[in-house]
Structure 1
Amino acid sequence: MYKASRRIGLVFFPAFDWAISPTHPEREERLLYTQDQVLEEGILDIEGIREYRPHLAAVADVERVHVCVPDVMSRVTESHLIAAGGAIVAAEAVLKGEVDRAFAIVRPPGHHAMRIVHGARGFCTINIEAIMIEYLRRHYGNKRIAIVDTDCHHGDGSQDIYWHDPDTLYISIHQDGRTLYPGTGFLNEFGGPNAFGYNLNLPLPPETGEEGFLYALEHCILPVLDDFKPDLIINSAGQDNHYTDPITNMRFSAQGYARLNDRLQPHIAVLEGGYSIEGALPYVNVGIILAMAGLDYTYVREPDYNPARVAQSPKVRDYIARLCEETYQAWRRRDELREEFIRDQKEISRRRQIYYDTEGLLENQEETTLVCHACGGLSWIDSRTDRGSHVLAIFIPRDACPRCREEGHNLFERSSRQTYRDGVFLQDRVADRLFTK
């Protein structure tokens, strides 16, 4: 019998009852064609490849990561909880030692969902990778984790959630935000004052080919991972860099995705975007599964594949080489750059406008973070929307020092519901509890 050299667990959840619209790119057929291809190729008959059934994530699992306004169940459907629960099932199979690798092929996606959730944006409502990661940390100890996000769109939600967390390295490789939603993901987005340097972005130019993606992996991503030495590597496995994707402008192939995962070897992959439902996803997902299982993927090819479709210009090649060098040098100088950034400040604030494209809603945030040399730092966000919602969200990090935790609770106690008409929220990661008033 054909046998995988690395045991792999698969979780499928097509979310039959959730769709933005019947003809929207993010719809259940995204996964159905993949399931058909996996069954047709006999993937589940290979020894060492095992299918798991998803379960529902709990509301407390969501509240560990998000402040949903006004509450979790007013924002999510059962499908969102099953997608997050499916990622948890995949990850637990790895942590329990039942498999060596796992791939959650689930929807709805999540990497555009930020700490505060007023609705859906970028097809995402809750961040299923972050919910999975924080579940693992709560139940299996404080792991040092690297997220490598290969979706064509910058994962601004994952970046926001881990902006202040030095135990989580977030690396996003994506199409340049000047040419694609959500318009973010540049080198100067380097992390918060207490985790400066642990957020890295590689914004690739449109029409980047296979050569460019794999160059970035070899010359930037893998060297940074070698330095960081994570306990777990998570791949936010977006597949919309494919040359047939209808809403992006890149030139990656199933073979390229398989080679990337073969070199990266993530412990857990979670499906994100990818909207070429027939032309890409069945082949890309099969390639990723085979690569993660240590099996031969060299025969995986799209029906219309030819080398010209994944080629890139010398100009693109040179740009990516410079980008990777600049990014890696910034990573190596992160401690020095942090000192320049904080400049003896006690607090650092930033203002942002966040657009919820699915909802047509605009949020204005003012975030303040305590500069702390002992933990990720207390932070709080004053959040208003153009529909009249106004909340204060206070975040005590998982590794909070006594000072940051005490100041967070003091701020919660003195903040009035009369000032913040839609509530005051305190997410205390130490207590693993969301307080509201």
Structure 2
Amino acid sequence: MESFDYDLIVIGAGSGGTRAARISAGYGAKTAVVEVDRPGGTCVLRGCVPKKLLIYGSEFSKNVEDAIGYSWEVGDIKPNWFDLIAKKNKELDRLHEIYKNLIINSGCDLHYGYGKLISKNKVLVTYNNKEKVISAKKIMIAVGGKSNFPNFAGNEFMINSDKALDLEKLPKSIIIYGSGYIAVEFAGIFSGFGVDTSLVFRSEYVLRGFDIDIRKRLTEQMKASGIRIFPNNSIECINEIGNKYLIKISNNETLESDLVMGATGRSPNTKDLGLEAIGLKLGKNGEILVNNYNQSNVSSIYAIGDVTNKINLTPVAIAEGHAFADREFGGIDRFISYEDVPCAVFSQPPVSIVGISKNSALEKGIKVTEYISEFNPLKNTITGKVEKTLMKLIVDQNNKVIGAHMLGEHAPEIIQGIAIAIKAGATKDNFDETIGIHPTAAEEFVTMK
């Protein structure tokens, strides 16, 4: 019988990989983690957490406007970007140490270096020009995704979200190419910090795939906030002229900006892992194809998270990693559900959804009733601000609530609670019978008629 160094090798110390490794180790599996950078992964170090911190910082400009509307006398204030980035990085260092200690204290061996598969059970780890080979009965790939830019002249002048999180100073102007969650979130960040912000994208409205009314309202509200919107456009080329960039877009207009950011999507980070050489099958976008056990066509190799391109959300990767450990080493035959997974876009204002939209339901042949509430929140009445909240419930023929959508302040916090109700199979009657908390925006979900 062939012997191995480990029961499990996890390549990638992000949220999903770390969970898989430490729970497996807790079940007694001899486990190794291979990480090319720092434990923590995209979400903790280059995504959700640092981005949310900058969103918090950028929102204070709007809070000041609201304060003036509520008769606060506000003096001259301005952001200190350099200081904020330093504080953000200090927090990321703290979180990195937590992740590193979670791995080590759970009994895993942590190998720093680039991990590449050289057989179905062996990983070549390269670090500082030194190589070593480690082996395991099972190998988990949890290396996440990476930014994906379209191919056009001058695309090398675009920065990605990783670099946008660590700019040494704020530009006076920025053009962001894209309409997905990364694009709209960073548009809100830069605009909130006083940067002249433009958004160029190929569709008519931002957030393709979301509820159409949510998309329309958010696009309108971003425009009203001062963000310049260039829908139905693509970037054809970028030229560097001195300290500026000239960006030609498909309507033949040429825009000028200090900085250009690409946010046109992400792709699975499967290049140079040695996967094809060992016969592992990939999908059309480079994702690792897995079954319900997160197992690839090579029986000893598994994958979780963004590298599988299923639902690219950190909580999903964590759930996949935990379920994998339960099944493979804990004797618990447990699987996660990919239905009714809530998500949020931390735009300004934010969007959050769970379940299905009316259009998606109709495309699937499901007859539904759509309940809608749109209103200007009480908070805005004194300030004169007009930024309407939009809320929807989607109800099927059996009176079951199968979707909830919200655009407005605190949407992610509110939808998280609604997601529990939908997951539990709540009906519209259950919502109607629930007494609302007044005065709140959330009470609209139990008063819609």
TM-score class, shorter:
under 0.3
Instruction: Give the TM-score normalised by the residue count of structure 2.
Output: 0.27
TM-score by length of 1: 0.27
Q: Which has the larger radius of gyration?
A: 2
